[in-house]
Amino acid sequence: MTGEIPRRVEDLLRELAPQVLGTLAGRYGQFAACEDATQEALFKAAQRWPADGIPDSPRGWLLTVAARALVDEFRRDTSRRRREDANFAATPQSALLGRPADSVADRDEAADRDDSLRLLFLCCHPSLPVPSQVALTLRAAGGLTTAQIAAAFLVPESTMGQRISRAKARIKSGGIRFELPAGDAAERLSAVQHVLYLIFNEGYTASGGADLTVPSLSDEAIRLTRLLRRLVPEDGETAGLLALMLLTDARRQARTGPDGALIPLAEQDRARWAPDLIAEGVALVSEVLPRGAVGAYQLQAAIAAVHDTAPALADTDWPEVLGLYELLERVAPNPMTTLGRAVALAMVHGPEAGLALVASLESDDRMAGHHRLLATRAHLRELAGQSAAAAADYQAAARQTASLPERRYLTARAAALGR
């Protein structure tokens, strides 16, 4: 047995978890019970496979163990079993338990695809609050434990557990079906993309805590977006979202120093950027942009590609970045996009032009006092030579952020200008 087996097991289990849960939920309904059975199967596999070896049909092994756990649960709770008789009888226990694992796994690729896609749509159902969608996606489709999700979002495990339990209860009480949506398929796909985008952003720049990044979250968002890309290969925005994640994550190693201190883009060692991720992201953008309809994720990915392919900050094609931000504002208006355009505008037409655009956001309730607005204004004031005003803005931004690395960086900038 080599030391590589545990990592192989972990990766394989996370890949198979949504397939197994999707298959069970598709056959029996009762999402919560199927999710519990899947988790039990994953736990047993994590215990046995490192010692016994990975079975010839790992997916079939998991399905068989999970199905048996599900049957045992139904038997223990006779009242629940009676409520589920109609669904459960439709697929006899022998359909799973009377056959060897290899035949259990004998499903065509299209069925697995549909089950995985249904699972993502179920986790991101519009009747669930966004925080619940995020938590349920990470738990059910991502295979993360409640403790892992709670740690990533800096909340107690009990709080995250309640959030996930409420989401499951909403699915059950609301009669939400495990099926692909018909009329609102595009809207639901957009919701899935948005949840994956939120997960990635929290991983790339944590909203609070001592660490700037939570790599487990950004890695999981990329993995799930790769899955979604395989499920809907013709969707340009899914490809754009994956490209955006890859091009952004390519800079991760250069964003912090040995002590965890934040290093801004202008000061990063670009030799530490990941060339393989940049190449893959650029290839995706180049593939989908010429197709026609251009969405927000594709445009954000194109902006990231301009930054990532510049050998040095001075080589950045700022007029192209500005043009992409202007198009992005037309496609998906957002105050954060306007902040990005303000920086590009300053690099093309001077800091005063950027400051004028930032000033237009100061009356926006969504941005009033937001640390990103204050930090952007501080940066532009610093470029304009307004040192005292920039230092005050850096200090104000530091007070508003819950991220310790961001707070330390902003405080240091203020101190440097105050000398």
* Range ranked top by mean pLDDT from 183-197, 208-222, 340-354, 358-372: 340-354
| Segment 33-48 mean pLDDT | 89
Arithmetic mean of pLDDT over the chain: 86
**Residue (of 163, 166, 143) closest to 153 by Cα position:** 163
Q: Are 66 and 20 in contact (CB under 8 A)?
A: yes
Domain boundary among 107, 122, 154: 107
- pLDDT > 70 in the chain, percent: 89
pTM value?
Answer: 0.81
pLDDT value for 2: 38
**Residue (of 287, 276, 280) closest to 235 by Cα position:** 287
Q: Give residue 74's domain range.
A: 1-107
In a domain, 404, yes or no: yes
Q: Are 24 and 37 in contact (CB under 8 A)?
A: yes
Domain boundary among 56, 78, 107: 107
pLDDT digit string, tens, across residues 373-399: 999 999 999 999 999 999 999 999 999
Q: Are 137 and 196 in contact (CB under 8 A)?
A: yes
3-state SS assignment for residue 240 = helix
pLDDT value for 178: 76
More confident residue, 320 or 363: 320
Q: How far apart are CA 79 and CA 72, in angstroms?
A: 13
Cβ partners under 8 Å of residue 60, min gap 6:
100, 101, 102, 103, 104, 105
| Segment 180-201 mean pLDDT | 84
pLDDT value for 104: 41
Q: How far apart are CA 46 and CA 129, in angstroms?
A: 32
Give residue 108's pLDDT band: very low, low, confident or very high (50, 70, 90): low
Domain count, the chain: 2
Q: Show contacts of 354-357: CB within 8 Å, 24+ apart.
A: 354/380, 354/383, 355/380, 355/381, 355/384
pLDDT value for 330: 95
Domain boundary among 73, 107, 141: 107
pLDDT digit string, tens, across residues 247-282: 999 999 999 999 999 999 999 999 999 999 999 999
- pLDDT > 90 in the chain, percent: 49
pLDDT digit string, tens, across residues 295-322: 999 999 999 999 999 999 999 999 999 9
pLDDT value for 13: 86
In a domain, 205, yes or no: no
Q: How far apart are CA 201 and CA 73, in angstroms?
A: 38
pLDDT value for 379: 97
Give residue 333's pLDDT band: very low, low, confident or very high (50, 70, 90): very high
In a domain, 260, yes or no: no
In a domain, 63, yes or no: yes
CA angle centred on 39, ends 33 and 41, rounded to 5°: 105
pLDDT digit string, tens, across residues 218-236: 998 999 999 899 989 999 9
103, pLDDT greater than 60 = no
* Range ranked top by mean pLDDT from 128-137, 140-149, 164-173, 300-309: 300-309
Number of helices (H), then strands (E), belonging to the chain: the values are 22, 2
CATH number of residue 359's parent domain: 1.25.40
β-strands 208-209, 402-403: how paired? parallel
In a domain, 118, yes or no: no
In a domain, 90, yes or no: yes
In a domain, 96, yes or no: yes
197, pLDDT greater than 80 = yes
In a domain, 287, yes or no: no
